[in-house]
Structure 1
Amino acid sequence: MLSNACKYAIRSVLYLAIKTDESNKVGVKKIADDLESPQPFLAKLLQQLNKGNLVSSTKGPNGGFYLSKKDKEHAIWDVIKNMDGTSKFDDCFLGLSECSDDNPCPVHFIVSPFKQKLSNNFKDKTIAQYVAEITQSGKVISLKNFDILEN
């Protein structure tokens, strides 16, 4: 449902929210290495997020990307809007030009509640709240250095 760019952007924002603040910035190379993502691609995404006022950055020898307290108050929905827009949550799942409760496609009543719940979850929780859940539960945002048990 989300583009790869949007997925990388969300992972990057969560990474920055966990690892950084105004006094602790991280460079693109470190973020790309830790998230196992292509560095040039990630650099463009972070620049786009910075222009959208979702990520902060400073230049220079002690520069890098970070999330300020204000940045952490944004929702994941803001990242999705910045990267992909919201049409995927509004458009017909089957691609029909007209689809609504009054004029539903064959899967409208199956997909519509799912899309609504998903968009509400992305809108209702701040990045700071996601970080609290991640750190409390030990959820993984990267598989780097993660031991996978083989059967």
Structure 2
Amino acid sequence: MLSKSAEYALRATIYIALKGSEDNKLGIDEIATAIDSPQSFTAKILQLLTKNNNVVSSVRGPNGGFYLTEAARKLPVRAVLEAVGENGVLTKCVLGLKECSETRPCPMHEQYRTIKAQLRQMFEKTTIHDLAEETRKGKIVINNRLVKKK
């Protein structure tokens, strides 16, 4: 349902929220390894997430890396999707039609409208912090192996 970019962006953001801080900035190598993503792809995704320090913050240099501010941790998951241009799942027609609407619906419009509303609610109510905490507790995973606790 989501693109690989969106999947990796969510995983990276959750990992950074879980392990990073202003005092403990994370490098691309660590993030890519932790989320099972190619390093070059992770770098491109982090570039989108750090644009204007909207979701992820970064510092260049030898002591640099990536982290989330307290304000960013409170952002809804939708902010991550928007940062990588993936909010179409919440707005577009499930069949990709340009003119799908209440007056000119596609064959799946009625069913998908309900699902889309549920997705929108989930992505707007769930915060980055919520997902990081669930990961910290071991209730969810962001890769094929559990993230080890500090």
Structure ID, larger Rg: 1
For residues 104-140 of structure 1, give each alpha carbon's deviation from its aligned partner in whole angstroms, at most 9, with x where no partner exists: 2211111111111112110112211222233235211
Residue identity in the other structure for 1:19: K
Matches for 1:85-104 after TM superposition, within 5 Å:
85-104=86-105
- 1:140 equivalenced with 2:141 (yes/no): yes
Give the conservation status (yes or no) of the 8 Å contact 2:3–2:86: no
For residues 74-133 of structure 1, give each alpha carbon's deviation from its aligned partner in whole angstroms, at most 9, with x where no partner exists: 111011111124233222212223222333221111111111111211011221122223
For residues 21-72 of structure 1, give each alpha carbon's deviation from its aligned partner in whole angstroms, at most 9, with x where no partner exists: 1111110011111212110111111121111421011122221111111111
Q: Quote the offset at 1:145 in angstroms.
A: 6.9
- 1:108 equivalenced with 2:109 (yes/no): yes
Give the conservation status (yes or no) of the 8 Å contact 1:3–1:84: no
The residue number in structure 2 matching 1:32 is 32
What runs of 5+ residues in structure 2 fail to find an aligned partner?
A: none
C-alpha distance in 2 between matches for 1:7 and 1:145: 17
- Deviating more after overlay: 126-135 vs 73-82: 126-135
The residue number in structure 1 matching 2:67 is 66
C-alpha distance in 1 between matches for 2:91 and 2:40: 31
C-alpha distance in 2 between matches for 1:116 and 1:108: 12
Q: Quote the offset at 1:144 in angstroms.
A: 4.1
- The structure-2 alpha-carbon separation of the partners of 1:58 and 1:97, relative to structure 1 and needing over 3 Å to count, comes to closer
Residue identity in the other structure for 1:2: L
C-alpha distance in 1 between matches for 2:57 and 2:110: 40
Q: SS of the residue aligned with 1:57?
A: strand
Q: SS of the residue aligned with 1:92?
A: coil
Residue identity in the other structure for 1:16: I
Count of aligned pairs between the two proteins: 146
Q: SS of the residue aligned with 2:104?
A: coil
TM-score under structure 1 length normalisation: 0.87
C-alpha distance in 1 between matches for 2:46 and 2:3: 15
The residue number in structure 2 matching 1:81 is 82
What runs of 5+ residues in structure 1 fail to find an aligned partner?
A: 147-151
C-alpha distance in 1 between matches for 2:139 and 2:115: 26
Report the identity percentage: 39
The residue number in structure 1 matching 2:42 is 42
